[in-house]
Every structure is written in structure tokens, then in C-alpha cells.
Amino acid sequence: ERSYTLTLLPGDGIGPEVVAVAKEVLSLTGSLEGIKFHFIEMPVGGSALDAVGVPLPDETLNTAKNSDAVLLGAIGGYKWDKNEKHLKPETGLLQLRDGLGVYANIRPAVVLPQLVDASTLKKEVAERVNLVIVRELTGGIYFGKPRGFGTNDNNEDIGFNTEKYSASEIDRIGRVGFEVARKRNGKLCSVDKANVLEASMLWRQRITMLASEYPDVELSHMYVDNAAMQLIRDPKQFDTIVTNNIFGDILSDEASMLTGSIGMLPSASIGESGPGLFEPIHGSAPDIAGQDKANPLATVLSAAMLLKYGLGEESAAKRIETAVIETLNRGFRTGDIFSSGTTLVGCKRMGEEVLKCV
């Protein structure tokens, strides 16, 4: 029997509800696949701020580092929105990504045939959209120094950040992009702003150099403003997109909304070695927290990514993915993906229905 230690970070808002469902799904899947999970739950984000005064306690980071994989719910909420930077829930998440060294964030945006009506795009544009965004996650303007506040020559307040990439940072995320594309349809689109930014010019140069190592992958380049348009004009043109941290933040949220069902979308963040971080792409949705209304499927699918990318347990991952599809086919929907003719259920009940199909 294989055995893994998983760190669960429920976080804030709907985080605890959706992680609770994913935990049960993981347990049952494990018992059917001969895998034993040891779960350790730790605080992060606003709940950590409330409990111990920092958004990422050392103990949380150490536990995460020493485990085989990390499953996060969501962080943030109105309550902490006005906190100073080092006391923001988001800062805890950034410290966690940085602390785990998970530089590659993999975000699929898939329009399921069962949910094509949920998209605000016309059916013929939305159907069969199936793309992955590979976002650099531990560099760029999110982490670049110098950063901060100051005054300029006129003695005025200024705020500043640094967008910075080194060749090796670009190369390692570029390789993940090529590898992901290779396992899909062999098309990689690198997104940058190389007509204006030096950081992007280096990006384009390095990605172009890498291409010779992946002759089976067709590489193209696109400016970020054009990419934001093309995702709406014709999202099916994309297979795999690789881009920097801030452009990836914006484009992956845009791409996820194309599907109309961000309550369904998982993500995986992985590094060179060490545990990966898996989380739904949706936020903490404080307005519906604690009301048993959240859609747990994005977190359940994040658990499937954890099994596949984090632990190499492909068969267990497949079992979860199939159970989710089956549950949708049986007509169960949370409020965010409900349409007439389907059965409206809450977070817990959705979990129970998935468990029946595992």
C-alpha cells in the first residue's frame, strides 16, 4: 500500500467547505486504489491572520514542505482587504508559492459539453474550447526588487515595482510550456509584450532558443493585448499558452471565464522537486461562505491534478475525473452552473454525489 502525507490548507471563505469535500473524495479514492493518505490541516491566509497574526505561519510552510503535496482551498476576504501588505492574506499565498518554489502554474480552461451553455460566448465559439495556460508563478513583477514606496524629485509620493526575468527563470517555465504542449496538441503560444518591454524581449529570445529542442512543438508568439482579444474572438485557436506571472494572472482568469464555470476549474503549481501546490482557480467567495452553496468540483478536480502531477497516481486521478463527469451527467449542479432541467444541490450534497461515482 502506497502512503502519502498531504497538507490541507482550507484557508478562507468557502475554502473549508470545498476542501472538506475534496478530502473525502481523496480518502475514498485512496481506499479503492490501495493508497493511504495522511492529512494534516494547517491555517493560511485570513484565518491564519486571525489565529496567529501572520498570513503564512512558519509551521504551515514547514508542514507543507515536508509533505508529498499541498491542497489549498481559497484565501482572502473583505475583512482583511485594508490590511497592510505584509498582513494581507494574499501575501501568505505568495509566500507559500515562493517557499515551495512552485514556479509553474498549470491552468486548464476546458468547456465541458455538459456546461457549454454556462458560457457567455456563443455556443459555436465556446464548444470544444480546451486550452491550458502555463503561468510563471514565482518571478516577474510579483516578486521583483526594488519595490515599495518613496518620493520623487518633486517630493511626491511614488509607488514602484520591478518586472524582472533572468534567462534561467524563463528557460525553466518555457520548458514546462513545451512539455505540456507536447503532451497535448503540440501547439505552444508564448505571450509577451516584446514590442515595449525589455523583460519581454528577453522572454521572447529565450523561448525562441528553446524551440530547437522541441521540434515536434509548433511555437508562435503573441502580444498580450492581442492575446486578450484572441481569447474572445476564437479561443479554439489555442492549445497551450506560456506567459509571465502578471500576464498569466490576467489571461488565465479571462480564459477561465470563457468557460462560464470557474467553479469547475482546477490548477496545479509545481517546482523542480518537492511538493506541488494544487488549488481551485476561483476565489474565497466570502458572500456565500458557510451557506453550503459553493461548488466543490474545482477543488475535487484540483485533488485529481494533485494525484496526477503531484504523486504520479494517474489511475486514481482518472477515477476522480470520471466521477465528476458522471455526477454532471446525472444532472447535479450547484448554483453557479445550474440551468433548467438539472438538479440544484449544495456543496455537501454535490460531494456525496461524487462519492457515489468514485
Provide the binding-site residues for its own copies, judged by CB under 8 A: 76, 85, 88, 90, 94, 120-122, 125, 141-142, 144, 147-149, 152, 154, 156-168, 193, 195-203, 224-226, 228-234, 246-247, 249-254, 256-258, 260, 262
Q: How far is the CB of 33 from ligand IPM (least distance, A)?
A: 29
Considering only 29-37, 88-96, 183-191, 320-328, which stretch makes contact with ligand IPM by CB under 6 A?
Answer: 88-96
What are φ and ψ of residue 158, in 5° steps?
A: -130, 155
Q: Which of 79, 187, 253, 348 is catalytic?
A: 253
Handedness of CA 153, 154, 156, 162 (dihedral sign): negative
One-letter identity of residue 333: R
257: partner contacted, choices ligand IPM, its own copies, none (Cβ within 5-8 A by kind)? its own copies
Question: How big is the chain, counted in residues?
Answer: 358
Q: Is 225 a catalytic residue?
A: yes
Handedness of CA 47, 262, 217, 220 (dihedral sign): negative
The Cα–Cα gap between 350 and 321 comes to 14
Residue 222, all three cell numbers: 503573441
Q: Does 166 bind ligand IPM (CB under 6 A)?
A: no
Residue 182, all three cell numbers: 507536447
Our CA dihedral for 305, 339, 258, 175, rounded to 10 degrees, sits at 10
Nearer to its own copies, 157 or 272 (CB): 157
Q: How far is the CB of 36 from its own copies (least distance, A)?
A: 37
Does residue 146 have a cis peptide bond before it, meaning omega lies within 30 degrees of 0? yes
157: partner contacted, choices its own copies, ligand IPM, none (Cβ within 5-8 A by kind)? its own copies
218: partner contacted, choices its own copies, ligand IPM, none (Cβ within 5-8 A by kind)? none
Q: Does 225 bind ligand IPM (CB under 6 A)?
A: yes
| Strand pairing report for 240-243 and 187-192 | parallel
Nearer to ligand IPM, 195 or 291 (CB): 195
Q: Is 142 a catalytic residue?
A: yes
Q: How far is the CB of 90 from ligand IPM (least distance, A)?
A: 4
DSSP conformational letter for 309: I
Q: How far is the CB of 207 from ligand IPM (least distance, A)?
A: 20
53: partner contacted, choices its own copies, ligand IPM, none (Cβ within 5-8 A by kind)? none
SS3 per residue for 61-98: HHHHHCCCEEEEEECCCHHHCCCCHHHCHHHHHHHHHH
Bridge partner residues of 266 (DSSP):
280
Contacts of ligand IPM in 246-305 (CB under 6 A): 249
Q: Is 145 a catalytic residue?
A: no
Exposure of 204 by Cβ count < 10 A (0-12 exposed, 13-18 middle, 19+ buried)? middle
The Cα–Cα gap between 358 and 354 comes to 6
Q: Is 193 a catalytic residue?
A: yes
Site string for ligand IPM, 125-154 (x = CB under 6 A): ------------------------------
Residues that bind ligand IPM (CB under 6 A): 90, 93-94, 195-196, 225, 249
Known catalytic residues are 142, 193, 225, 249, 253
